[in-house]
Amino acid sequence: MSFEQIIVSGNAEQLEESELSLLETLDHVLNSGLVIAGEITISVADIDLVFLGLNVLLSSVEAAQEVLQRRVTDAK
């Protein structure tokens, strides 16, 4: 089994190394995981590509659709 994290969109097309993969990673690492204290202090002063919360999810979808659309256009 490959442990490469694969993102599959609605039509089963695989989007490797896309923005989508990054956004999915952000979603996991920032929104879930074991917490050892009552709260975690993180600084967003140097934020460069993070959309916290649900915006990540919707951005993921939009990014997926854009990438798919580009691929369809390029293929023509």
Partner 1 sequence: MSLYLYCLLDDDFIVENVIFSGPREGISGSLVTLFIPEDFALLVSDFAGTSVPVTRENVLLHAAVVNAVLPETTPLPFRFGTLTTKAALDSFLAARSQALRAKFELVRGCVEMNVKIIWNREWIEEKSAVEMKPGTAFLTEKRRQIFGSEARVTEATKIAAWLEERLSNSIRETRVNTNTTDKLLVTAAHLVERGSIDEYRSRLKNAQLERPELHFLASGPWPPYSFANIDLEFKTQFGVS
Looking at this protein, which amino acid is placed at residue 55? N
48: its two tokens: 């460069």
Task: Find the shortest distance in angstroms from Cβ 63 to partner 1.
Answer: 10
Q: What is the spatial distance between Cα 62 and Cα 11, in angstroms, rounded to a whole number?
A: 15
User: Should residue 67 be labelled a site residue for partner 1 when binding is judged by CB under 8 A?
Assistant: no
User: Should residue 34 be labelled a site residue for partner 1 when binding is judged by CB under 8 A?
Assistant: yes
User: Should residue 32 be labelled a site residue for partner 1 when binding is judged by CB under 8 A?
Assistant: yes
- The answer to whether the CB of 6 falls within 8 A of the CB of 14 is yes
The partner residues of 14 in beta bridges, in order of sequence, read 8
Q: Which residues bind partner 1 (CB under 8 A)?
A: 1, 3, 5-10, 12, 20-22, 24-26, 28-38, 40-50, 54, 57-58, 60-61, 64
